[in-house]
Amino acid sequence: MTAKEIKVPDIGDFEDVPVIEVLVNEGDTVAVETPLITLESDKAAMDVPSPEAGTVQRIIVGVDDKVSRGSPILTLEVEDSGEQTEDGDLSRTEDDSTPETAPKSDADAVESGTGQARADTESERETKAGTSDTGEPRSRPTPPLDEIPRKGPMPHASPSVRRFSRELGIDINQVEGSGRKGRILKDDVQSWVKNRIHEAAPAPASGEGPALPEIPDIDFSQFGEVEVVPLGRIKKLTAVNLHRSWLHVPHVTQHEEADITELEEFRRKLKEEAAERGVRVTLLAFLMKACVAALREYPRFNASLEKGGENLVVKKYYNIGIAVDTPGGLVVPAIRNVDRKGIYELAEELGDVSQRTRDKKLSPNDLQGAGFTISSLGGIGGTAFTPIVNAPEVAILGVSRAQMKPVYQDGEFVPRLMLPLALSYDHRVVDGADGARFVVFLSKALEDARRLLL
């Protein structure tokens, strides 16, 4: 191993150019072309690459030192090459007395990059490639930096900062430098990016988080006849609520099918008796009871996340919101204390509340206090849908139309009435495993209505 002194190569007509960055440390292993220091003249910043591979032994220059061609940069411990100099040394060493500013010749002067500095633009780099195809230093120096064609004045920035801005896709000419003599630092590039991001995001409407990019306002009449229909009050309110929930709540929807063959049989048997009482018992009353059983088992579903996300407010009451379709839009009244009410009572209350909802006779109190919501589209049809959580509740059950399906049981297919369930939940509060447990519990409860009594 031999110690070689690495010197500043031919950098054109520049004298006393300041070192703005030392890119290696003592002990670093460098390859041929590894940048060692960055110089910055009035015209350009340039990396000085290593002419040889080896280990950095001693760094001679420091930031703000002024260097010229031949100034020592560092000593490099390199493998012996077998080449001998005139005086029998294997190479120039730290003791070499060759004048620093005037190397004897290209062959014996161990100049960094064999007389070229590395410029920063791709075209400049190509023009100034410092090694031959084999990676060996060229014997003839390439043109000095000031002879290289330039597209325009270069901003003051080290190649590493320019590389950084290129990686981010930023035109460095737009960045204002805060360093000495207006030099652009890495921090300047980062601040520029932060400012652009901030400017790109319109002012938040609610004070929470950035607003969304706007959907373009298009004049559709240019394509054909249109009619502009004003939205009613309920539709507008619903739009705000649903949008808010959609944006705030990370939704997951868990699907399940419940075998309600027996339950439906039971319900039909009750019909006559129910009619005598003047009530219509629909599946929904049973669904509410089954949901209460599941909420008791999994209390996190009957909860709300406190603002700030620090605590979960778990409700000890069982009030269930029911999505009711009205000509004016969707309304969700709450049926209170479902746990304390029987099927007939619930059926009666459901009938009453849905009627009052459609007649627009609900009081504000009717619309408050739910801890969990059911949205049943079973009376209309459809196989599945993904309901939106009625925040700040954490879950909602979507129910689609039950259908007779062939179900494989005990070695044969049997016709069973299968009810599609879709549980959407707030994934901040409920884990996927609990989401699945909840619907499995619910489906078991519906399969065997006796469980609802437990």
Residue identified by tokens 């070229």 is 116
Alpha helices in 214-260, H assignment, sequence order? 233-248
- 429 makes contact with ligand CAO (CB under 6 A): no
* Minimum distance of ligand CAO from residue 246's CB (angstroms): 11
CB neighbour class for 345 (10 Å; exposed up to 12, middle 13-18, buried from 19): middle
CA pair distance 4, 112, nearest whole angstrom:
11
Q: Which of 98, 92, 95, 135 is nearest to 113 (CA)?
A: 135
**E strands of 110-224, at which residues?**
none
List strand residue ranges (DSSP E) for 349-411, in order. 372-376, 395-399, 403-409
Task: Name which of 34 and 386 has its Cβ closer to ligand CAO.
Answer: 386
Task: Please state, as a whole number, how many other Cβ atoms lie within 10 Å of the Cβ of residue 363.
Answer: 9
Q: Determine if 334 is a binding residue for ligand CAO (CB under 6 A).
A: no
- Chosen residue from 210, 379, 382, 406 binding ligand CAO by CB under 6 A: 379
Residues 252-311 that bind ligand CAO (CB under 6 A): 282-284
The footprint of ligand CAO on residues 173-232 (CB under 6 A) is: none
The alpha carbon dihedral of 359, 360, 362, 368 has a sign of positive
245 lies in the binding site for ligand CAO (CB under 6 A): no
Among 67, 154, 288, 377, binds ligand CAO (CB under 6 A): 377
Number of residues forming the site for ligand CAO (CB under 6 A): 20
Task: Provide the minimum distance between the beta carbon of 275 and ligand CAO in the complex, in angstroms, as a whole number.
Answer: 11
Task: Record the tokens describing residue 426, joined without a space.
Answer: 């707030």
Q: Please give the Cα distance from 303 to 433 (Å, whole number).
A: 17
**Closer residue to ligand CAO (CB): 58 or 280:** 280
What's the angle, vertex CA 95, arms to CA 90 and CA 100, rounded to 5? 100
**Least Å distance between CB 377 and ligand CAO?**
5
Structure tokens at 261: 């063959």
Distance CA 133, CA 186 (A): 33
Residue choice 100, 325, 339, 434 for contact with ligand CAO (CB under 6 A): 325
Least separation in angstroms between CB 450 and ligand CAO: 21
* Identified binder of ligand CAO from the candidate list 36, 117, 320, 324, rule CB under 6 A: 324
Pick the closer one to ligand CAO by CB: 119 or 288: 288
Does residue 159 have a cis peptide bond before it, meaning omega lies within 30 degrees of 0?
Answer: no
Residue nearest to ligand CAO (CB): 378
Single residue of 112, 302, 376, 443 touching ligand CAO by CB under 6 A = 376
CB closer to ligand CAO out of 51 and 387: 387
Chain-centroid distance of CA 407 in Å reads 42
What binding mask, one character per residue, do residues 15-54 give for ligand CAO by CB under 6 A, x or -? ----------------------------------------
Q: Which is nearer to ligand CAO, 36 or 446 (CB)?
A: 446
Structure tokens at 141: 């120096």
> Is residue 248 annotated as a catalytic residue, yes or no?
no
Binding segment (CB under 6 A) for ligand CAO, from list 7-15, 225-233, 293-301, 319-327: 319-327
CA 89 from centroid of its chain's CA atoms: 60
Active site members: 427
Interacting residue ranges for ligand CAO, rule: CB under 6 A: 282-284, 322-325, 330, 350, 354, 375-379, 387, 399, 401-402, 419
